[in-house]
Amino acid sequence: MKILLTGINGQVGAAIQQALSRSTLPHELIALDRHRLDLSESTSIERALDAHQPDIIINPAAYTAVDQAESDQDAAFAINAIAPKQLAEGAARLGIPLIHFSTDYVFNGSKQGAWLESDTPQPLNVYGASKLAGEQAIAASGCAHVILRTSWVYSGGGKNFYLTMRRLLSQRDAVNVVDDQFGTPTPAGWLAEVVLQLLDRWQAGQWHSGIYHCTPTGVTHWLGFAEAIAAQLASEQRLTAKLSGIPSSDYPTPAQRPANSQLCCNKLRGTWAIALPDWQSAFTTYL
Ligand SMILES: NC(=O)C1=CN([C@@H]2O[C@H](COP(=O)(O)OP(=O)(O)OC[C@H]3O[C@@H](n4cnc5c(N)ncnc54)[C@H](OP(=O)(O)O)[C@@H]3O)[C@@H](O)[C@H]2O)C=CC1
Ligand SMILES: Cc1cn([C@H]2C[C@H](O)[C@@H](COP(=O)(O)OP(=O)(O)O[C@H]3O[C@@H](C)C(=O)[C@@H](O)[C@H]3O)O2)c(=O)[nH]c1=O
Ligand SMILES: [Mg+2]
């Protein structure tokens, strides 16, 4: 099986590349960074698909700078909506499946309890709107697809809340973090293992197109995630900061973020028989 993988320098792309390199899954990997496949260039996608003739596409590349997207709408939509549309149309043309990633930020955060795949998205920010447009274009293309909607992704590399907090909590005297936005931290390494399980099932002839929520179980707020990170730093004798909770109104950002974006992942568990760790044990397992 020939896999075309985008975004290999991102958190999830790098984790998938690493997981594939360790796996026994027979495959050939076409691993493409921004220089080998610039998703903002309209002709490059069709050219890459024709040149490589993959059997499956995995697209973790995205415009993920949530605040910057507010003033950079065209770039966010080019990479998060138009590029996935072109990848999906290419997949439909070649008769191959597409594995894609989306976000909890497609929801408005107002629900009490975990969001279902059947709930209506209503993004509060440009990033969420661009990711939703990508989902919709993929569904409309008619290609076989799995869209994994995940949340609060972190890893030991790249740009993420985990590494930002490790830096701030080990340098400052005080750090304030919002305690009124709820969701579920998700390790990139676990997402990569989920993708490998999907590839395994696909090689065995199984496929179930659709959107799947994909996070560990449980819910916390950003402060709760920061507390777990602080505990890790304390165990390394590197914690310098006192950590306090604040309301979002005390942490103004260009993009509005959902108050509750916990995702119910029973559909993923039921359809693909994928086990979900709780977010705290995932945190210790993957870092
Ligand atoms: N990070 C998170 O918290 C969450 C992420 N997601 C989704 O999961 C997926 C993976 O996210 P994650 O790995 O964290 O994202 P990252 O920001 O870590 O990586 C995104 C990758 O996309 C690449 N990219 C950006 N623009 C282009 C372009 N024009 N052409 C080619 N490549 C480009 C970047 O390249 P370069 O390295 O060169 O900049 C980067 O390697 C995305 O779909 C994201 O929307 C969903 C929920 C939460
Ligand atoms: C750095 C920092 C952030 N915060 C707040 C701001 C924000 O509400 C929250 C998280 O901040 P960040 O900017 O790290 O996270 P953010 O960029 O909103 O993360 C999102 O990224 C995209 C790609 C997704 O798809 C989402 O699932 C989600 O992971 O924490 C504090 O309260 N104190 C701080 O010191
Ligand atoms: Mg951010």
In the chain, what are the domain boundaries?
Answer: 2-159+185-217+262-276
What pLDDT does residue 137 have?
Answer: 98
Lookup: tokens for 5: 């993988």
Q: Which atom of ligand 2 is nearest to the CA of 104?
A: 27
- In this predicted structure, what is the pLDDT of residue 107? 98
Its CATH architecture, for the domain 2-159+185-217+262-276, is 3-Layer(aba) Sandwich (3.40)
What's the pLDDT at 257?
Answer: 98
Identify the H or E element spanning 234.
helix 222-235
Ligand 1 close to Cβ of residue 15 (< 6 A):
no
Query: CA-CA distance, 169 to 174, in Å (whole number)?
Result: 8
Q: Which parts of the chain register pLDDT below 70?
A: none
State whether the beta carbon of 103 lies less than 6 angstroms from ligand 2.
Answer: yes
* β-pairing verdict for 182-183 and 220-221: antiparallel
Helices (H), the chain: 11-22, 44-52, 66-69, 73-77, 83-94, 126-141, 161-169, 188-203, 222-235, 266-272, 279-286
The confidence score (pLDDT) of residue 132 equals 98
Distance CA(210)–CA(219), nearest Å, equals 24
Which residue's CA is the nearest one to ligand 1's atom 31? 34
Q: What share of the chain is helix, strand, coil (3-state, %, to 5)?
A: 45, 20, 40
**Could you identify the atom of ligand 1 that is nearest to the CA of residue 79?**
29
CB distance 161 to ligand 2 below 6 Å: yes
